[in-house]
């Protein structure tokens, strides 16, 4: 099936050199103005890839994304009022 993926936000100082980050995972988004990149990589190789990323001279900081830990299933606790507004 599908491998477990984790996301990382990589802050960098050189946008031209940051284009080479796709060697370490899937480069999803690269912001030249704010100088960060959003990457996804397999969870089993993520620890080793982060260690290799930290050694790069243009990488300032690496943060793990908590997007997959946020609850995305919502429940509606309010009653449906559409029947009161119908003609």
pLDDT tens profile 8-25? 999 999 999 999 999 999
pTM summary value: 0.77
Distance in angstroms between the alpha carbons of the first and the last residue of the chain: 50
pLDDT given at position 71: 85
CA 52 vs CA 4, 42, 84: distances in Å = 20, 15, 60
CATH class of the domain comprising 5-68: alpha beta
Structure tokens given for 50: 């982060």
pLDDT given at position 76: 77
- How does pLDDT run across 32-75, given as a tens digit for each residue? 999 999 999 999 999 999 999 999 999 999 999 988 788 888 78
With vertex at residue 4, the alpha carbon angle to CA 20 and CA 71, rounded to the nearest 5 degrees, is 105
């Amino acid at each position: 099936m599908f491998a477990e993926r984790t996301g990382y936000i990589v802050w960098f100082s050189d946008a031209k050199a940051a284009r080479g980050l796709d060697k370490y995972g899937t480069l999803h988004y690269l912001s030249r103005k704010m100088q960060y990149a959003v990457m996804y990589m397999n969870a089993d190789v993520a620890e080793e890839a982060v260690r290799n990323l930290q050694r790069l001279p243009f990488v300032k900081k690496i943060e793990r994304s908590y997007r997959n830990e946020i609850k995305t299933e919502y429940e509606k606790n309010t009653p449906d009022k559409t029947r009161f507004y119908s003609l």
